[in-house]
Amino acid sequence: MVYVYAPEISSRTSYIFDLLLNEVLGIDFMATSVKEEYIQFHGVKINYSQHETGDELFLPPEGLLEETMISACDPEIQIINGIPVLFPVDDLRASLPFDIFAASFFLVTRYEEYFPLERDAAGRYRPEESLAFRENFLHLPLVNIWAEQLYSVLQKKFPGFHAAKRPFTFTPTIDIDHAYAYRQRGFFRSAGGFVRAIYKRRWKDLLLRLKVLANLIPDPFDVYDRILEYHTKYHLQTLYFILFADYGGDDNGVNTKGRLFQQLLLKIDEAGVIGAHPSRASNQNFAFLESELFGLSNFIGRDISISRQHFLILSFPDTYKRLQQVGITDDYSMGYASVPGFRASIATPFMFFDLVAGTRTELKIHPFAFMDVTFRDYLKLDIPSAFEKMKALVDAVKSVNGELVSLWHNESLSEVEGWKGWRALYESFLEYVMK
């Protein structure tokens, strides 16, 4: 048991104490604002105040956690022993040279995303605006690294102290934006596809389309048996996020009422866990979100409790508040489309803290480390270069015993439309993770 003292145990301090000590490090702790009670305790102690009390880990606060409002904040950054730190302290008595609790809170809550900043064409927060991108630590699960430093100084201060730290885990996830390349598209969309292929003289595409619709060969996006084979080999449970919408434009999924698509949903539900993939349109229309979630839940016969936003569109705190309203308990949208890395600078699931309401919520956030499309379409990397980036992120998560979440699409394993060779890459990736 670790005793933690702070003059005031606010919702912010309570939240970040639990995240760092319990969720990341697996440490049982008790927090108190009663100084006398704290002083009388004999054991492992952390003092998060401006005044030392004795034999303890002394961590003076910077002030962010004492605030209740969201105010403009541009934290100072220093590089100490090769690791970036936020909110450095110049108190020589401090056990760490920075306010680890304020720094972790700032990054994990996505404090900087609550302010009006430039967004991309899809309405997404641009990673270039983030502190992690500007200071070149987006590739690091920095909060986990800091937590390891805290654990180290605790062991040094209190020899014999030990906690049952969390093991490394891996969760493969598949986004299904287009369940099929050619099937279940309806007459007019299929006809339009034929016309476009002829007009652009894409004869191979035209022939492939004809063969698929004539039931001579499988649809190239129908790789679900192969995914199951890969994951069964390593005893992995797969999360599938299904776009259950067909509004056209950016949400041009297959016909959700099609018999083949509905059979596929039942098949996937037996093989893994189905989650919602709320459409881009649902960000502007709450009724769409309710309809999509109800339709998907109603068809598979159970409540849907996990989600990932289509196009990874997040707006703080609105997106997460809407998801909670429709019963989502776990979300997997925390990451960027255009760059790999750790958007919240952490590789451990964490509860969403609503800065506007000033409260910890019951929505658990599962950050992902990378998306397949990022490497091919945004960074324009070849397969060997993409694999090296993936391996570096895998190593980073393993080094801190975090949860690695990968984001792939069924179509990226199709070997068509520019994805040739990525199926073998996926096999290599799984082998590397599980070795």
Q: What is the structure's pLDDT at 173? A: 98
Residue 254 pLDDT grade (very low, low, confident, very high; cuts 50, 70, 90): confident
Q: Are 142 and 342 in contact (CB under 8 A)?
A: yes
User: What's the rounded Cα separation, in Å, for the pair 36 and 350?
Assistant: 32
> What is the percent of the chain with per-residue pLDDT over 90, rounded to a whole number?
84
Average pLDDT over residues 45-50: 98
Check whether domain 169-181+219-434 has CATH 3.20.20.370, yes or no: yes
User: What's the rounded Cα separation, in Å, for the pair 59 and 64?
Assistant: 14
Q: Are 400 and 141 in contact (CB under 8 A)?
A: yes
Among all chains, which residue has been given the structure tokens 């598979």? 300
Among all chains, which residue has been given the structure tokens 């102290």? 161
Please choose, from the candidates 216, 156, 221, the residue with its C-alpha nearest in 3D space to the C-alpha of residue 183: 221
Average pLDDT over residues 195-199: 62
Average pLDDT over residues 294-323: 96
Q: Quick check: 195 pLDDT over 80?
A: no
Average pLDDT over residues 298-320: 96
Average pLDDT over residues 205-222: 78
User: What's the rounded Cα separation, in Å, for the pair 265 and 296?
Assistant: 9
**What is the rounded average pLDDT for all residues in the chain?**
93
Take residue 223 and report the two structure tokens written for it: 């790789």
* C-alpha separations of 396 from 208, 393, 401, 432 in Å: 41, 5, 9, 13
Q: What is the structure's pLDDT at 187? A: 47
Q: What is the location of CATH 3.20.20.370 in the chain?
A: 169-181+219-434
| Neighbouring-strand partners of residue 8 | none
Q: What is the structure's pLDDT at 147? A: 98
Q: What is the structure's pLDDT at 14? A: 98
State the greatest distance between any 2 C-alpha atoms of the chain, in Å, as a whole number: 82
pLDDT in tens, 391-428: 999 999 999 999 999 999 999 999 998 999 999 999 99
> What is the percent of the chain with per-residue pLDDT over 70, rounded to a whole number?
93
pLDDT in tens, 81-103: 999 999 999 999 999 999 999 99
